[in-house]
Chain A
Amino acid sequence: MSLRYLGRRAVQALITIVFVLLLNFLLFRLAPGSPERVLLRNPSLTPQAVQEIRARWGLDKPLVPDQLVAYVESMAKGDLGYSFKYRGEPVVDVIASRFWPTIILLGSAELVAMVFGLALGAYAGWRRGGRVDRIGNGLGLVLYSMPYFVIGMPLVIIFATTLGWFPTGGMFSLGVAFASPIDQLLNFLWHLTLPLATVSLALIGGYSILMRSSIIETRGEDFVTTARAKGLPEDFILRKHAFPNALLPTVTLIAINLGYVVGGAFTAEIVFNWPGLGTLTVDALNARDYPVLQGIFLFISVAVIVANFAADILYGYLDPRVKTE
């Protein structure tokens, strides 16, 4: 039974990935504007040069079947092609160089937001109408509605430019010879502080709001009343009974968010000059860098699909009713 559930989910995930692959190809080529045009506002470029550039990138061939066949072939080989913008740098390398900065920033921000957001939401919901709820819920809503740069820019101006406690951006101090890897790590953490604070503040809202409503729902359930009747302490009921049950809907949010971690946080990356995947996506879009865009979209899609697949399995584990459906 469980195996069949697993198999069905896996097949669904695979079909989605194939669909994404095809969509990926079409989507970017349907967009108006072609990559070699980006080069054109250069008074010394000759028409032959443009033709040769087209030929070099295979853009002179028809979309179907030539470009599609080449695309499927290379995908099958795990070859994502070469970047137009970076003049032939392999897409895998371009994405890889931006991968870890994004994972570190967003991954840690997700974790921080999850821990604080869920705790805040649970506490606020449990004492609905209390001081923590009123302040916390209000704050959660405000943060949830704020884009990264609205949170980030004041942080930069206060803590970096004015007070000088933290750097304004980047991952490391440039041109500094670090005495040891520990120094380098501290320098990195120093640079990470403000962007991490920004992204986690923005994410806390989503978690706390969902957790709050979920806990409020759970609070009225029979088993909570039973626990109360048994004379268990409030805090204990929240932690051992209400919280685990209320966690279920947040699993979906967590799974989706974790999937999008690889997408990066474009506006936060811009404010802090963080070399992540979000800014790479926008740069690639502006440069009509199809191969890089395809690579990123494929990557994000697969990450989201895998994260959802994991959530499905986790669901089955957390809530046995799901498996039998």
Chain B
Amino acid sequence: MRQLQRTRAIRLAAAFFLTAAVLLPAAATATAASPLVLREGTTQDLDAMNPFNTNLVSGYEAYLLNYDLLVNFGPNFEAVPGYAASWTVSPDGKTYTFKMHPGMKWSDGTPATSEDARWTLQFVLDAVKAGKSIGVGALDPYVANAGITAVTAPDPETLVVTLEQPNPRVLQMYVPILPKHVWGKQTLATIGDFKNDPPVVGSGPYQAVEWKTGEYVRFVRNPNYWGQQGAADEVFLQFFKTTDSMVQALKSGELDYAHSLTADQLNALKGEPNIVTVAGGANAFTELTMNGYMKDIPGGGASTKALRDPAFRDALGYAIDTKVIVDKVLAGYGVPGTTIVPTGGASDRWHVDPTNPRHFDIALAKQKLDAAGYKLNAQGERLDKEGKPLNLRLYTTSTGTEWQQAAQFIRDWFGQLGIKVTTQVFDSATLGNIELPPEAGAEYKAKWDLVIWDWVLDPDPNNMLKDFTCAAIGSQSDSFYCNPKYDALFEQQNKALNEADRKTIIGEMQQMLYDDAVYHVLYDEPQLDAYRTDRFGGWQNQPIKGGFPIGGGQSSYDYTLLTAAGASASPSAAAASAGPAASSAAGATAAAPTPAPSASGGGGTTGGSNATPLLLGGIALVLVLVVAAVFIRRGRAGAKEEE
């Protein structure tokens, strides 16, 4: 009797789960004609939709899809039409006249004119002139660096920008042109609080219509985009917590593009069907920074004055094998580093190799240390000039596992020189505090010797170069390098009119920093991405040589290059009967009424609004309760029977 009952229960449960297993996947595909969707995965969570409030790669990426820059960045980071269709420069190089695209419209249909561009630039310019910053302060330096003095819009299709001196940086400003009819009421005091919640009104190829924090942003194609229309109807920027899950999603076909993988993951993905891996330059470098602060700091500072000595720092460079670090830590991806302008990425064309590159040679390093006056004692410890054994603290961050590994190598190599190194890991915020010198505030003491960390650059190296000027001590400078000659060169390159002249000066600056051994650049960082080719084609690297296809917060034109690969690949093909004639193939080519970002935004059932999870939760809860109740009742009923 009992035996029988139990089998019945098991059979019932088995039947239930089997039906569920069969029904659920079937249900997932049984949908109405779905749009052609590009799904892009990243592990960096978006922080803000307001372009002024972000300094993350994902933030740049979102606003570059939403908006145009006045002048966009092309396939090789050259200046290409953006919000402005064309431009001319006056003979003295001080006046730029921009022509807008005729008849251009914002995504909501409002005419997009030079007045919008004037308003945006004037707004930032006012802040710069008042010595204020906007939001998190990441975008206004572009306007400041361009040296803009005035912006006028003599007619709806013309914008005139006047500069204090010739300055080509005006064509490289990461400042999105915003619609005045949406943003016009904002003031300097309020703009940082403006959320710019979706649906966003912009002029870029895709606009955000829905943002689930920590989950995804959904963009739909801008029917009014002035340039080529992309094949994807929608773009999902999906946020993952770990690259492991992202790789699984890419392999199972739930994702089309995965950003920033590890070397092991990339190697494992090679040879998977329909998956292409790409190892490009990330336009970033990892460096060993040395605390060269030139004054004593009570209760802080470096543990030895040796770090202030360029000869000492230079000698250490011969005890770092950057090739081994690239091979062992990055599995061969990445490029052994030299100067502070990385190779392979967006600023590659500004890189100049040092004339006298260091090579790994422990004996030579020892020789140079001896010559510079840093001798070994009887115990084999190397002493600084005060006669104290060198014992350096090497710090890095908890987020960089590669950096922690590199630190182990450096500890061993420096150990061979008789220099003891103790390593410690901090979270980024804490390490940022430790690094700062008293110039940043009385509470900061720069109590460290060596740090391994990285920098991510703009396509233009200007801001990176600026971090080694005297004025940067107390904010961005973590080498505390201060050299009037370097500062003079910095001003010079800022004024250089043509690229060749400027590159000569920038090369000189790179050489100067290399000689003074301010940083030992360990490697230029690789960008390891992977994407599927069974749903989209037309992937093109940016820069074409040594870059990677989409995202990365560099530009958004590459999204419009994508083409639909085999219309039947779309999951909607199975349910084409659900919709009227319009099949998914038609949807991919003809964008007739298109999903315009209307005010109703996520009103459709895609993704689900705020109320649905609640509803679903309720239903799930009821289901489980019902099952539980059945169990209990079954038990009671059984008990009664037997009583």
Check A49 against B137 for contact (C-beta < 8 Å).
yes
- Chain A residues positioned under 8 Å from B132 (CB to CB): 48, 52
Q: Which 10 pairs across A and B sit closest by C-beta, in order of nearness? A: A49-B137, A175-B37, A33-B429, A186-B27, A37-B432, A49-B133, A33-B430, A190-B24, A104-B617, A100-B613
17 contacts between A and B (CB under 8 A): A33-B433, A39-B55, A43-B463, A47-B475, A88-B193, A108-B620, A108-B624, A112-B624, A164-B252, A166-B24, A169-B240, A171-B608, A172-B608, A176-B28, A176-B34, A180-B605, A288-B429
- Chain A residues positioned under 8 Å from B2 (CB to CB): 235
Check A111 against B624 for contact (C-beta < 8 Å).
yes
- Chain A residues positioned under 8 Å from B214 (CB to CB): 97-98, 275, 279-280, 283
Interface residues, chain A, with chain B CB atoms under 8 Å away: 32-35, 37-50, 52-53, 56, 85-89, 94, 97-98, 100-101, 103-104, 107-108, 111-112, 115, 119, 153, 156-157, 160-161, 164-181, 183-190, 192-193, 233, 235-236, 239-240, 269-273, 275, 279-280, 283, 286, 288
CB of B364 closer than 8 Å to a CB of A: no
- Chain A residues positioned under 8 Å from B427 (CB to CB): 33, 286
Check A184 against B605 for contact (C-beta < 8 Å).
yes
Check A115 against B627 for contact (C-beta < 8 Å).
yes
- Chain A residues positioned under 8 Å from B399 (CB to CB): 286
- Chain B residues positioned under 8 Å from A35 (CB to CB): 429
Of the candidates A43, A45, A52, A101, the one whose C-beta lies within 8 Å of that of B457 is: A43
Check B254 against A89 for contact (C-beta < 8 Å).
no
Check B248 against A43 for contact (C-beta < 8 Å).
no
Check A89 against B428 for contact (C-beta < 8 Å).
no
A183 to B605, CA, bound (A): 10
- The residue of chain A having its C-beta at the shortest distance from the C-beta of B194 within the complex is A88
Interface-forming stretch among B46-54, B331-339, B409-417, B483-491?
Answer: B46-54
Q: For chain B residues 416-456, which have a beta carbon within 8 Å of chain A?
A: 426-433, 440, 453-456
- Chain B residues positioned under 8 Å from A101 (CB to CB): 613
Of the candidates B195, B216, B571, B617, the one whose C-beta lies within 8 Å of that of A100 is: B617
A1 to B433, CA, bound (A): 57
Of the candidates A44, A56, A89, the one whose C-beta lies within 8 Å of that of B141 is: A44
Of the candidates B37, B432, B614, B619, the one whose C-beta lies within 8 Å of that of A33 is: B432
Q: A42-B138, A177-B604 are in contact. Are A168 and B620 (CB under 8 A)?
A: no
**Least Cβ–Cβ distance between A254 and chain B, in angstroms:** 13
Of the candidates B48, B236, B610, B639, the one whose C-beta lies within 8 Å of that of A236 is: B639
- Chain A residues positioned under 8 Å from B430 (CB to CB): 32-33, 37
Q: For chain B residues 214-266, which have a beta carbon within 8 Å of chain A?
A: 214-216, 218, 234, 236, 238-242, 244-245, 248-249, 251-252, 254
- Chain A residues positioned under 8 Å from B366 (CB to CB): none
- The residue of chain B having its C-beta at the shortest distance from the C-beta of A157 within the complex is B248
**Least Cβ–Cβ distance between A235 and chain B, in angstroms:** 6
Check B613 against A171 for contact (C-beta < 8 Å).
yes
Check A43 against B31 for contact (C-beta < 8 Å).
no
A245 to B37, CA, bound (A): 56
Check A236 against B457 for contact (C-beta < 8 Å).
no
Q: A178-B31, A270-B241 are in contact. Are A41 and B254 (CB under 8 A)?
A: no
Q: A34-B429, A193-B24 are in contact. Are A45 and B476 (CB under 8 A)?
A: yes
- Chain B residues positioned under 8 Å from A165 (CB to CB): 21, 25
Check B638 against A48 for contact (C-beta < 8 Å).
no
Check A111 against B628 for contact (C-beta < 8 Å).
yes
Q: A42-B55, A172-B608, A178-B32 are in contact. Are A185 and B621 (CB under 8 A)?
A: no
A218 to B386, CA, bound (A): 75
- The residue of chain A having its C-beta at the shortest distance from the C-beta of B473 within the complex is A47
Q: A33-B430, A270-B242 are in contact. Are A44 and B458 (CB under 8 A)?
A: yes
**Least Cβ–Cβ distance between A103 and chain B, in angstroms:** 6
Check A153 against B241 for contact (C-beta < 8 Å).
no
Check B613 against A41 for contact (C-beta < 8 Å).
no
- Chain A residues positioned under 8 Å from B103 (CB to CB): none
Interface residues, chain B, with chain A CB atoms under 8 Å away: 2, 20-21, 23-25, 27-28, 30-35, 37, 39, 45, 47-48, 50, 53-55, 131-133, 135-138, 140-142, 192-193, 195, 212-216, 218, 234, 236, 238-242, 244-245, 248-249, 251-252, 254, 399, 426-433, 440, 453-458, 463-464, 466-467, 474-476, 571-572, 575, 578, 604-608, 610, 612-617, 619-621, 624-625, 627-628, 631, 635, 638-639, 642-643
A276 to B251, CA, bound (A): 24
- Chain B residues positioned under 8 Å from A104 (CB to CB): 613, 616-617, 620-621
A193 to B608, CA, bound (A): 18
A43 to B347, CA, bound (A): 14
- The residue of chain B having its C-beta at the shortest distance from the C-beta of A109 within the complex is B624
- Chain A residues positioned under 8 Å from B431 (CB to CB): 33
Of the candidates B34, B433, B619, the one whose C-beta lies within 8 Å of that of A185 is: B619
Of the candidates A33, A46, A88, A178, the one whose C-beta lies within 8 Å of that of B192 is: A88
**Least Cβ–Cβ distance between A71 and chain B, in angstroms:** 20
- Chain B residues positioned under 8 Å from A41 (CB to CB): 428, 432, 453-456
**Least Cβ–Cβ distance between A99 and chain B, in angstroms:** 9
- The residue of chain B having its C-beta at the shortest distance from the C-beta of A186 within the complex is B27
**Least Cβ–Cβ distance between A191 and chain B, in angstroms:** 8
- Chain B residues positioned under 8 Å from A56 (CB to CB): 192
**Least Cβ–Cβ distance between B122 and chain A, in angstroms:** 19
Of the candidates B33, B192, B245, B578, the one whose C-beta lies within 8 Å of that of A168 is: B245
Check B136 against A39 for contact (C-beta < 8 Å).
yes
A50 to B476, CA, bound (A): 11
Check B47 against A87 for contact (C-beta < 8 Å).
yes
Residue in A168, A183, A239, A280 with the greatest tally of chain B CB atoms within 10 Å: A168
Of the candidates B39, B47, B463, B616, the one whose C-beta lies within 8 Å of that of A85 is: B47
Check B55 against A186 for contact (C-beta < 8 Å).
no
- Chain A residues positioned under 8 Å from B192 (CB to CB): 56, 87-88
**Least Cβ–Cβ distance between B342 and chain A, in angstroms:** 12
- Chain B residues positioned under 8 Å from A288 (CB to CB): 429
**Least Cβ–Cβ distance between B302 and chain A, in angstroms:** 20
Q: A45-B138, A108-B621, A235-B2 are in contact. Are A273 and B245 (CB under 8 A)?
A: yes
- Chain A residues positioned under 8 Å from B616 (CB to CB): 104, 184-185, 188
- The residue of chain A having its C-beta at the shortest distance from the C-beta of B595 within the complex is A177
- Chain B residues positioned under 8 Å from A88 (CB to CB): 53, 192-193, 195
A47 to B617, CA, bound (A): 47
**Least Cβ–Cβ distance between A41 and chain B, in angstroms:** 7
Residue in B2, B234, B605, B621 with the greatest tally of chain A CB atoms within 10 Å: B605
Of the candidates B34, B50, B212, B432, the one whose C-beta lies within 8 Å of that of A97 is: B212
